[in-house]
Chain A
Amino acid sequence: MTQIITTPDKIYTPDGLELDTVLFEPKRGTNRAIINIHGISGHYLQNHFISYMARSYPENGYAFFTVNNRGHDYIADVVKSKINGTDRVQKGSAFDIIEESSFDILPAIDYLNKQGYEEIILQGHSLGVLKACYFLSTEKNHGISKTILLSPMDVIHLLDNQVKDWKYWRDMAETMIEGRRGQQYMGTKIWLDVPISADSFWDYAKEDSNMWQFNFSNLSREFIHFNKIKIPMLVVLPEGDNIAIGIDKEQAKNELKKRTASKSFKAEILPGSGHGYWGHEEKLMEVINNWLK
């Protein structure tokens, strides 16, 4: 059995936020690592597949680095460093802005580089997929070799089906932001019962949103950011994930194939699985590990 070294630690974003991390490394050493970006309202250890990856990736020669991003939990107390000490700020999914995701991913890459890792793979789950694609599309010299996208979500589909009168609330969010009330909570929630600030709602719902990437329910729209990624890519679509993707998964897979700019693209449907892979973690690991090999 592979011996694994587990190292909990903290990293700091360029805007001073402290993010908790844990690195799982094979004791025999490796120079390859996988960074995990969690999704909305979750945290860096929450999904059960994280525990499977923490064992399976090192067994297969990859270190695994999972990181709390600023959107962890619904509303989180995040430590912020200042010149003369620390402060505390409210973050979490209620205040998440996709354009800030690069602030969280850059120090994670830097942490691994400083530890001597040379090949770095970026993995995202759920909203983490959107953050990974945004990062890979907008950062020119990201240094990422491959990407693993687990359970991408169609934000327009989610808004249409989970947020009643979302266009009304979008206008309300815009008005609140114009009135300098962007950090205030709205009178509505988004999916998963997430309380949400006006700034964050606007970020999800504005017409040119960087969240609108996997537009399976609006195929006339570009799959922005995703369609710019050229590095090797694995996308896993859980067959039963009907909340995040409203169309048949075979069709979704074909739409991704049509739109990808990657010459090494693979999409797999995981039969019987839901969005979080509960009870299907071993099958998920088999799919990913086969692709990594």
Chain B
Amino acid sequence: MAQVIEEFRSSLRSASRPEKQSRWGSPQPFHGFAMTPFYLLTNMKDRNINITTHKIYSTDNIELDSFLFEPKNGTDKIVIHIHGKEGHFVQNKFVLEMGYSYPKTGYSFLTFNNRGHDYIADLIKKTATGFTSVLGGSAYDIIEDCVHDINGVLNYVKDLGYKEIILQGHSLGPHKISYYLDTKPNPDISKVILISTSDILFHLNSEVPHWEEVSGLAKKMIYEGRGKEIMAIRLWSNCPVSAETFWNYTRPDSNTYCFNYTQPHIPFRHFENISLPIFTVVAETDFAMGIPQEKAMKMLKERSSSEDIETYIVKGTSHNFAGKIDELTGTITDWLKKHE
């Protein structure tokens, strides 16, 4: 490690007065650094895109940071991205790639931090007298609260003049979208894109030992007024979890049970009731579904009430589409074009 850092410092010293180069050209990879810097990719970006940062407020006043990517020639169509558990609004590399790709096909792209970002996060909340901090993040996430986040963002983009709105979610994002659309039907939403649809019961059964017993403990803690306490157990991805959130995932009628590939006798809650056009993209080696992808996508189509559902499996990649980002983005933009 010490050698790597010293090499890095040496490269910095030698680079401290570089020759002028084109800002958006192809800078040379620098010496002493094991990984290819991502900016080698983004430096090739199309500058016909306006990128802006925004602070959006949920309907219960939580501040949500966001990036908006818009084509310079304007559009009234937008894709809103909802990230998954313990991630954040730009964590997955495909998010930035979508930001640079979707506007080329006539769609703006907005990605925002929802209240479940990172494991434990410091959220800003607007109050009558100013702002305060509240604990958030995946450890405290409650699926029903996604309505506040999504409605806040929808109100915001409608105020910006967007008329056709598409919801896109990744990992836990599809569950939030399914819950939202089933319980708060919204005529402003025209289509949905669901990426990496995880089976929550599979995660619990395979990665959370004795979760059914712990669920009882979580319920008891809530009853005792200790719902915000972090439990001794972790969720998958080593995620610390409060009693309220553990109960939210594990109670018998959990609204997170939307894609029960491993328990097909259980209804695919909320998802089954979405009648909008749906495009689902999954990765071939994604462990999050618990069954082979072809079988899962067949099941999804059988369970859907949409008359227009398509699925696509990206070969040779996993949950975050590493190495296959172009294919992921390309298949979605193709679907968008086909559905104009």
B67 an interface residue at 8 Å Cβ cutoff?
yes
B27 lies within 8 A of A46 (CB): no
Contacts of B30 in A (CB 8 A): 110, 114
A75 lies within 8 A of B87 (CB): no
Among A1-59, those with CB < 8 Å from B are 5-12, 14-16, 18, 20, 22, 41-43, 45-46, 48, 51, 54
Report the stretch among B129-137, B181-189, B287-295 that lies at the interface: B129-137
B118 lies within 8 A of A77 (CB): yes
B12 lies within 8 A of A193 (CB): no
A106 lies within 8 A of B122 (CB): no
B4 lies within 8 A of A15 (CB): yes
* Contact (A113, B34) CB under 8 Å given A7-B42, A73-B137: no
Contacts of A179 in B (CB 8 A): none
Report the stretch among B13-21, B141-149, B154-162, B271-279 that lies at the interface: B13-21
A76–B93 Cα gap in the complex (Å)?
16
Among B42-101, those with CB < 8 Å from A are 42, 45, 47, 51-53, 55, 65, 67, 86-88, 90-91, 93, 96, 99
Among A91-110, those with CB < 8 Å from B are 92, 94, 102-103, 106-107, 109-110
Contacts of A72 in B (CB 8 A): 118
* Contact (A278, B131) CB under 8 Å given A12-B33, A46-B65: yes
* Contact (A106, B67) CB under 8 Å given A9-B38, A76-B118: no
Of B21, B96, B119, the contact of A76 (CB 8 Å cutoff): B119
* Contact (A74, B39) CB under 8 Å given A20-B91, A86-B322, A115-B23: no
**Residue among A10, A139, A192 facing the most chain B CB atoms (10 A cut-off):** A10
B38 lies within 8 A of A12 (CB): yes
Binary per-residue interface labels of chain A (212-250) against chain B in the complex, 1 for a CB within 8 Å, 0 otherwise = 000000000000000000000000000000000000000
Contacts of B252 in A (CB 8 A): none
Contacts of B67 in A (CB 8 A): 6, 8, 22
Nearest CB in chain A to that of B54: its residue = A51
Of A9, A42, A106, A116, the contact of B39 (CB 8 Å cutoff): A9
B238 lies within 8 A of A90 (CB): yes
Q: Report, as a range, how many residues of chain B touch the other chain.
A: 35 or more
Contacts of B45 in A (CB 8 A): 7
B35 an interface residue at 8 Å Cβ cutoff?
yes
A103–B2 Cα gap in the complex (Å)?
11
B336 an interface residue at 8 Å Cβ cutoff?
no
Q: Is the interface of A mostly helix, strand, loop or mixed?
A: mixed
B12 lies within 8 A of A278 (CB): no
A90–B133 Cα gap in the complex (Å)?
22
Q: How far is the CB of A292 from chain B (nearest CB, A)?
A: 21
B124 an interface residue at 8 Å Cβ cutoff?
yes
Contacts of A51 in B (CB 8 A): 53, 55
A79 an interface residue at 8 Å Cβ cutoff?
yes
Contacts of A45 in B (CB 8 A): 53, 65
Contacts of B17 in A (CB 8 A): 118
B53 lies within 8 A of A77 (CB): no
A124 an interface residue at 8 Å Cβ cutoff?
no
A279 lies within 8 A of B130 (CB): yes
B37 an interface residue at 8 Å Cβ cutoff?
yes
* Contact (A116, B51) CB under 8 Å given A14-B4, A92-B118: no
Q: How far is the CB of A28 from chain B (nearest CB, A)?
A: 12
A166 an interface residue at 8 Å Cβ cutoff?
no
B190 an interface residue at 8 Å Cβ cutoff?
no
Nearest CB in chain B to that of A113: its residue = B15
B121 lies within 8 A of A73 (CB): yes
Contacts of B87 in A (CB 8 A): 77
Of A10, A88, A102, the contact of B38 (CB 8 Å cutoff): A10
A73–B119 Cα gap in the complex (Å)?
8
**Residue among A76, A92, A278 facing the most chain B CB atoms (10 A cut-off):** A76
A192 lies within 8 A of B133 (CB): yes
Nearest CB in chain A to that of B65: its residue = A45
A141 an interface residue at 8 Å Cβ cutoff?
yes
B5 lies within 8 A of A6 (CB): no
B122 lies within 8 A of A42 (CB): yes
* Contact (A116, B21) CB under 8 Å given A14-B5, A88-B237, A90-B119: yes
B12 lies within 8 A of A73 (CB): no
Contacts of B42 in A (CB 8 A): 7-9
B9 an interface residue at 8 Å Cβ cutoff?
yes
A9–B41 Cα gap in the complex (Å)?
9
A192–B135 Cα gap in the complex (Å)?
10
Contacts of A279 in B (CB 8 A): 130
B90 lies within 8 A of A75 (CB): no
A20–B84 Cα gap in the complex (Å)?
17
Contacts of B103 in A (CB 8 A): none
A210 an interface residue at 8 Å Cβ cutoff?
no
B39 lies within 8 A of A111 (CB): yes
Contacts of B33 in A (CB 8 A): 12, 14
B8 lies within 8 A of A106 (CB): yes
Of B23, B27, B51, B120, the contact of A6 (CB 8 Å cutoff): B51
B240 an interface residue at 8 Å Cβ cutoff?
yes
B51 lies within 8 A of A8 (CB): yes
5 A-B pairs with C-beta separation under 8 A: A5-B51, A10-B96, A75-B118, A102-B5, A116-B21
* Chain B residues in the interface with A (C-beta under 8 A): 1, 4-5, 7-9, 11-13, 15-18, 20-21, 23, 27, 30, 32-35, 37-39, 42, 45, 47, 51-53, 55, 65, 67, 86-88, 90-91, 93, 96, 99, 117-122, 124, 130-131, 133, 135, 137, 139, 230, 237-238, 240, 320, 322
* Chain A residues in the interface with B (C-beta under 8 A): 5-12, 14-16, 18, 20, 22, 41-43, 45-46, 48, 51, 54, 72-77, 79, 81, 83, 85-86, 88, 90, 92, 94, 102-103, 106-107, 109-111, 113-116, 118, 139, 141, 143, 192-193, 195, 278-279
